[in-house]
Amino acid sequence: MDRQENTDVLVVGGGTAGFGAAVAAGRLGLDVILLEATGKVGGVMAFCPGMPWGAAYPAGRIIGGLMEELICRLEAMDPPAAEKRPCTLENFGPEIVYDHDIATLTMLAMLQEAGVQVRLNTSAFAPELDHTGISQVACFDRSGPFKIKPGIVIDCSGDGDISARAGVPFTLGDGDGNMMGVTISFHMVGVDWARAFAEPDPYFTKYAEKGITEGRLNPDLAKLYLMKGFNKGTVFCNSVHVRGVDGTDPAAVGQATQEGRRRCQQLAQFLRTDVPGFANAHMSLLSPIAGVRETRKFEALYRVTGEDLARGTRFADGIVCCDNPVDDVMRADAGMTHDAIVGKGSYYTIPFRCLVPQDMPNLMFAGRLVSADPVAFASVRGMPQCVAMGQATGTAAALVLRHGGTVQGLDPELLVGELARQGVNGLGNAGPT
Ligand SMILES: Cc1cc2nc3c(=O)[nH]c(=O)nc-3n(C[C@H](O)[C@H](O)[C@H](O)COP(=O)(O)OP(=O)(O)OC[C@H]3O[C@@H](n4cnc5c(N)ncnc54)[C@H](O)[C@@H]3O)c2cc1C
């Protein structure tokens, strides 16, 4: 017979959203199991180690909650393990750079302090349904299959296999199946920063042009986005994107990873020979697997739109604020753009209803699974917002289990009030403060 376990809350996926969901639910006294298919928490943050946390400061103020706590814990270390700096790209607010290993260790520590059972190298596979919603979830680890009977399931898996198999309707990417490019990142270590960053172009365009013209770089490398890493002399290369990959297909992601790594090696070699400051540097922290930005978009109680964002809408059930530009990366033939969505000093909020399916009474999703149209998605998907979406669903789970009823029936005022008590800023439809 399969092993069988019970839990109040099952969080599927230990990325930034799963971190937020599990810590919030655990702190509110629930039994929480978090399943993470890989050997580390962080999700995309661990697949592309060193990506800065953007969008944490809409209209100049931190979003608060667990994200603020994580940043403060890292900043308070001796030496500090995180630092706020301006983003070198247009239309982005400040970003947080951090020591990747210390950050993921601290996330794990916060999960453990909240009493969460973290199961690494463990996958959720298929939900079983009855009149209450998801009655059990079939899972597996290297010891074999087992089942978890959850009160509430929070799908933070990025791709939403469990929500899809539970029958929640979805579209892929932009609705026509075009998904943003996947990315394989790496660091260069031992760079002379003064020489490398002597010119102001964050995309190193003239060097990229040379490499492409000479056939030494892939044509999709027209914008070499190179940024100073957290540790002195390191450069984070968030440049190698592979188009047209279906992130729900493991074989396609595996192939893109290999192809991307080949392009990373070419780029590292090119940087050493052709770009000032890199001559003595070497490649490090190559992505273990491609970072996937976008796959399924589920039908939810509400789908937030680009028009909502452009109006700076602050929804009554807004659970996190945001002012990130429309950060689009290579859907179909498109390039990379980051046009502003709201005016300077303004922000919008992401409604809780975008995290709640229409029918399944004990299922929520968070993070990049948020229900958003293609324009809105390109703005709402930053890691700080994913942590906050997770925090909102973990908190919602506690309120639903405490007061009874379904996730669809939860009073948004209760949720927003509890999130405010937890120190989340700019909630609901509150005006600027
Ligand atoms: C290349 C790239 C660059 C980016 N740059 C930035 C940036 O600079 N700043 C920024 O703020 N944001 C950036 N983003 C966006 C941001 O990183 C993501 O939107 C965010 O990390 C998504 O978090 P998530 O928790 O929703 O999903 P993910 O990070 O995808 O995490 C999902 C987790 O679920 C696990 N999982 C999946 N299926 C299962 C299963 N069945 N059972 C158990 N576990 C499962 C996965 O292993 C993974 O760990 C970037 C994204 C990418 C891809």
**pLDDT bucket at 433, cuts 50 / 70 / 90:** very low
Instruction: Say if residue 70's pLDDT is above 80.
Output: yes
Domain boundary among 252, 284, 316: 284
Q: Is residue 431 part of a domain?
A: no
**8 A C-beta contact, residue 321 and residue 206:** no
Q: Is residue 428 part of a domain?
A: no
DSSP string, 264-328: HHHHHHHHHHHSTT-TT-EEE---SSPBP---EEE--S--B-HHHHHTT---TTEEEEE---EEE
Domain boundary among 239, 262, 284: 284
Which ligand 1 atom sits closest to the C-alpha of 13?
Answer: 34
Cα gap 407→392, rounded to integer Å: 12
Domain limits for position 410: 3-175+294-421
* pLDDT at residue 341 in the model: 81
Q: Is residue 344 part of a domain?
A: yes
User: Are both 171 and 187 inside the same structural domain?
Assistant: no
User: Are both 38 and 72 inside the same structural domain?
Assistant: yes
**pLDDT bucket at 216, cuts 50 / 70 / 90:** very high
**Mutation choice for ligand 1 from 107, 157, 261, 355, CB with most ligand atoms inside 8 A:** 157
User: Are both 332 and 381 inside the same structural domain?
Assistant: yes
Q: Is residue 289 part of a domain?
A: no
**Mutation choice for ligand 1 from 35, 51, 88, 364, CB with most ligand atoms inside 8 A:** 51
57 pairs with which residues across the strands?
none
* pLDDT at residue 175 in the model: 86
Cα gap 284→86, rounded to integer Å: 24
* pLDDT at residue 1 in the model: 59
The average confidence (pLDDT) of the chain is 95
**8 A C-beta contact, residue 429 and residue 314:** yes
Instruction: Say if residue 365's pLDDT is above 60.
Output: yes
Going by their DSSP bridges, the two strands 296-298 and 170-172 should be labelled as antiparallel
How many A from CA of 118 to the centre of ligand 1? 17
**pLDDT bucket at 431, cuts 50 / 70 / 90:** low
User: Are both 278 and 328 inside the same structural domain?
Assistant: no
User: Are both 143 and 199 inside the same structural domain?
Assistant: no
Q: Is residue 332 part of a domain?
A: yes
Nearest to 5 by CA among 187, 202, 140: 140
| CATH code assigned at 320 | 3.50.50.60
* pLDDT at residue 333 in the model: 79
Split into its structural domains, the chain has a count of 2
Q: Is residue 430 part of a domain?
A: no
As given in the structure block, the two tokens for residue 90 are 């247009």
User: Are both 235 and 157 inside the same structural domain?
Assistant: no
Angle, helices 65-75 vs 383-403, to 10°: value is 130
Would the CA dihedral through 153, 26, 17, 256 be positive or negative? Answer: negative
Tens-digit pLDDT profile for residues 389-414: 999 999 999 999 999 999 999 999 99
Cα gap 73→387, rounded to integer Å: 15
User: Are both 170 and 187 inside the same structural domain?
Assistant: no
Tens-digit pLDDT profile for residues 321-359: 999 888 887 787 777 778 788 888 899 999 999 999 999
* pLDDT at residue 330 in the model: 76
User: Are both 20 and 132 inside the same structural domain?
Assistant: yes
How many A from CA of 115 to the centre of ligand 1? 23
Q: What is the pTM of this model?
A: 0.97
